[in-house]
Amino acid sequence: MATANAAIAIDTSIVLNWSDVTGADLYSVQISLYPDFRVSLESSDALATSTHSFTDASTDDAKRYWRWRYSLDTGTTWSKWSEVGTYWLNTSCLTEVVQSSNTWSLADPDDPSDKTNFDVYPIFKVLPGMINRVKERNRSGDLLSEYLTTKDLISLEFGEDSYVQHEQFREIVRFHNEIKTFFLIANTYDGRDNVTRIWKVQFTDDPDMMMVASGRTDLMTGSLECEEV
């Protein structure tokens, strides 16, 4: 069985855990292959505890989205959904990846043991972008349907309080030049829960940082932008 909330799962037996809520007598969870949860891969509205185990037997080597909510009155009313967490299922991988609390990492999709952790916590922004994939029209020319997919753009800012050491910048450049398409993995705290998220990305531009002061090539600042592929 996979470790709870693994960022990269190599076993179809999945365990999801989230924070207990005082007074909650029921929890609900949804798992989907789609960020808008239009189709559920797995769901339950009858969980007595803040955990859910299930067999993930859908598309392999793909990203999953999941979220949870709670009820204080046995399901009559529900809280808002939590922030969306994600994990990647790839049963051909040899190494499961569990992301430590409040950390960011880069990992090679072909060999997740090739993984570099950021020594500092960046200021980040995640911008979902909608991309038109397919449009179908009837003979009159009226739009019947439009299929969209979401590809996140992730910006990481390393400023004066979060210097990047030169050795780590070399690792960032290595991932860009040699691995090219890689996993960006994060574990962030949203005020209620630690949320693990994973993206398969490429850098939108060549990584470019500057030294913090004249002669200080050991510490660097700047920004990185990654886009899902």
pTM check: above 0.85? yes
- Residue 132 above 70 pLDDT? no
- Residue 134 above 80 pLDDT? no
Instruction: Give the model's confidence band at 1: pLDDT under 50 very low, under 70 low, under 90 confident, else very high.
Output: low
Residue 207: per-residue pLDDT: 95
- Sequence spans of domains, the chain: 8-98, 104-108+113-228
Are 163 and 220 contacting, i.e. CB atoms less than 8 angstroms apart?
yes
Which CATH number is associated with domain 8-98? 2.60.40.10
- Residue 140 above 70 pLDDT? no
Are 158 and 106 contacting, i.e. CB atoms less than 8 angstroms apart?
no
Cα–Cα distance measured from residue 201 to residue 188, given in angstroms and rounded to the nearest whole number: 18
According to DSSP, the β-strands at 85-89 and 62-71 are antiparallel
Calculate mean pLDDT across residues 25-44: 95
- Residue 116 above 70 pLDDT? yes
Total count of residues recorded for the chain: 229
pLDDT digits (tens, 9 = 90+) for 150-205: 789 999 999 988 899 999 999 999 999 999 999 999 999 999 999 999 999 999 99
- Residue 64 above 70 pLDDT? yes
- Residue 37 above 70 pLDDT? yes
pLDDT digits (tens, 9 = 90+) for 80-97: 999 999 999 999 999 999
Chain mean position to CA 212: 30
63 Cβ contact list (under 8 Å, min separation 6): 33, 86, 87, 88, 198, 199, 200
Are 22 and 72 contacting, i.e. CB atoms less than 8 angstroms apart?
no
Cα–Cα distance measured from residue 124 to residue 4, given in angstroms and rounded to the nearest whole number: 25
Distances, alpha carbon 119 to alpha carbons 103, 165, 221, in Å = 8, 8, 13
